[in-house]
Each structure stands twice: as C-alpha cells, then as structure tokens.
Amino acid sequence: MTDRYLETASRIGYSICRDAIWSRDQCNWLGMSVEPYAGNFSNVLKSLSHDVYGGTAGIALFLTRLYEQSKEPFFMETAEGAMKHAIAHAESTPVSRICGFYSGLTGIAYVADVCGKTFQHPEWEQWGQAQLKHAADFGIQQDTSLDVVSGLAGMIPALLATGEKYREESVDLGNKLIALADHDHEGSSWKMGPDHPQGQKNLTGFSHGTAGFAWALLELYSATHEPRFRETALSAISYENCHFSQEARNWPDFRQPIEQNENVKYSYGSAWCHGAPGIGLSRIRAFEIEPENVSQEDIQSALATTYSSFSTTSGNGTYCLCHGHGGNAELFLEAGRRMNHTESWNIAKAIGDQGIERYAKHNRPWQSGSPAGSNPSLLVGDSGVGYFYLRLHDSENVPSVLLLNPAA
C-alpha cells in the first residue's frame, strides 16, 4: 500500500521537474499568485520567489527528500538547480524577512544545509551555516517579526537542528521572546512583531500565534533544561486554552472579528496555520516533552475537530500543507507516529487515499492552495502535496516540514 504514496509523490515530482524553467545551472517556475495592483488584488502568473513557503528553496527541499527516497537523478538535478537559484537570490531577501524560516533567509539557509549534505556540496553546508548565524545575530539585535512563519519562533528550532553549534544564539532568542511576551492573568502571549495590528488580540494558532511560540520554547527547554523556557511555554498554552470554545472544540482566530448583535465573535480555523490542526500538532510535541503538564484533552479535541472538517468536505478542496488536507493530515500522522494512535494513522492514510482517488487516479491537476490557481510551491502548491505523500510513504525518514523536530 505504501508504494502508491511514493508513486504519487514521484508523479508530482516529475511534473514539477518538467515545468522548470532553466537559466544556465539555475531553475525557477511560474505560478499563479494574488498580488496587489492599482489599489486592489489581482490574480497574476509570475516567477516564484526564493524562500521556503512559496519559492525555489521549498521546491528544492521537496525534490531533495524525493530523491532520498527514489534515487531518481532527475529529481537531484532539478533540486540542485532550484537550490542554486535560492542561494543566488538570498541577498535580495527583505530585511523584515531575514529571520523567517518559511518566509525568509533562515529557511533558505536550513534547506541549503540539507541539500548540501544529501548531494555532497560542502560549500552549501558552509553557506547555510554562515547564513543561520547571520540571521540569528540579526534576530537578537534588531526589532523583527516574532512568529513561526516570519520570525524568532520559527528560527529557534532551525538553529537547534544544527546541534550544539548555535545553542547560545538559540538561548538568546528564547530570552528575547520571553522579554517581549505579554504576561497577564490569562497567561503569556505575543504580538506578531512591530507590525501587529493595533487593538487586535494576540493570536492563537501555530503559524502566527501562541501555539507556535509555546512549541519553540519547549524545544528550547528540551535542549537546555532551563526552567524559564518551560514555564513561559506552559503559560502560553494556558493563554490559548483560556479562549478555547467547548462548543466548537476549537480555538478562535482573532484576526477577523465578526460583529453580531453588537457582540464581537470570532471564526474558528481548521488548518495548520490557524485553528485546531496546527494547535493539536504543537500539543502533541508538548505532551512528548512535558507529559505531566500538558493535557491530552487538547490533542483529542484537535483530532476530533480536524477529522470533522475533513469529513464535512468529503475530501474536496486543496491538499496543500498550509491550509489544506495535506497539512491537516500531519496532525494524524504525528499522533500515529509519536503517540501510537493506530486510528490516527489510518485516518492519515484515508486522507491520502481520497486524494489519489480524486486527483491522481484520473490525472486531474491538484487543486492549489492559492486562490489564484495552479502553483508548484511547498506550502500552497504541488510540492507540498508531494511532500505529504512522501510522509505517508515513510514518516520516520522524511522529516515533517510543518513541525521541525531538532531531536529527530
């Protein structure tokens, strides 16, 4: 059964390699995107950026992991071309995104290190390590984003993944997160950074919210055993759970309040980025690190709510990682792998099987996570779909890209 997952990932990989546009030894792709234009937003076809979320570094990571499983030279060649593009354009990363794992330089450096090891390019490893150091120093010294996607919380696990080398920088970043937290009777929480919307409550959720901060600090506690990181992480979980809705079995998304009869209400997301799937993923890792202080009830609620959202759609929609079935299935994969939940593992496979039946079996294009249309990127496009099927094929040897685990 698992071979069909590798076959599906490989078919996606071949399609991505076929569509690559080459300039000497570098390659890039075209993808649909929603971009600001003349005061509005328009759907445009454009070349990809160079980051992990929507650019060539993310595609390089998928193709590298696919090569590791398949040993297909075509995947190696295209992964190398994508990585060369990402490295060549890394200097153009905006200052505001230097710290970002998914959106910035930190992620590009991390992928360069991975690709360098797999393809025996020590110069990429050296470049990646140097850029991680540069990004960490910038994050320590400058005002920057704080969240998992663009800021310090996403940087900490990436630094810890290098082992002891940047332990001191990781600790400094953790101390900075604690110093910048809002601490009150509900617990600890964070603004996303200097551009946090005025008056907006500090977010719940993984990508921009408290679950992501708690995860980063618990990873730091696991590496250092320094109590302040553990205490602040548990306080962050308390903040999030203060806002948990028993009726919805979910945590509210504070970005877009809904006014009803003069009362402010909030929607409830169901994705890795916002809502139960991402929060549940962070709680699984938190329970692994702190089983005596993290309740399994949060995990059970997240599993139930995420399963309900998939059942409601009957497998329709996108299988992208950021806000699609592929990303949501990561919750069940990790529950099955880390907590020996056989039922969760079976649900993850069922989600994958429905995708194969709906799309791959009939040679239909995979629905994009971008509202603009087809996109080959990692978090909202086909590379992420392929990565999901690689995870189904071999979750022990294909590391999660949605929950970096320095201890793996």
323 is annotated as contributing to ligand binding: yes
Q: What are phi and psi of 338, to 5 degrees?
A: -90, -25
- Bridge partners, residue 259, by sequence: 264
Nearest to 270 by CA among 210, 215, 212, 311: 311
322 is annotated as contributing to ligand binding: yes
Write out the two tokens for 37. Answer: 């234009």
- Angstrom distance (rounded) from CA 156 to CA 177: 10
Q: What are phi and psi of 34, to 5 degrees?
A: -95, 120
- Angstrom distance (rounded) from CA 214 to CA 157: 12
Nearest to 193 by CA among 152, 137, 141: 152
- Angstrom distance (rounded) from CA 192 to CA 291: 28
- Distance from the Cα of residue 212 to its chain's centroid: 10
Produce one character per residue of 34-67: b if its CB has 16 or more CB atoms within 10 Å, e if not.
eeeeeeeeeeeeeebbbbbbbbbbbbbbbbbbbb
Burial class (CB in 10 A: 0-12, 13-18, 19+), 289: middle
196 is annotated as contributing to ligand binding: no
CA distances from 89 to 97, 101, 359 (A): 13, 16, 34
Please state the residue numbers annotated as binding site for Zn(2+).
273, 322-323
- Annotated binding residues, written as ranges, equal 273, 322-323
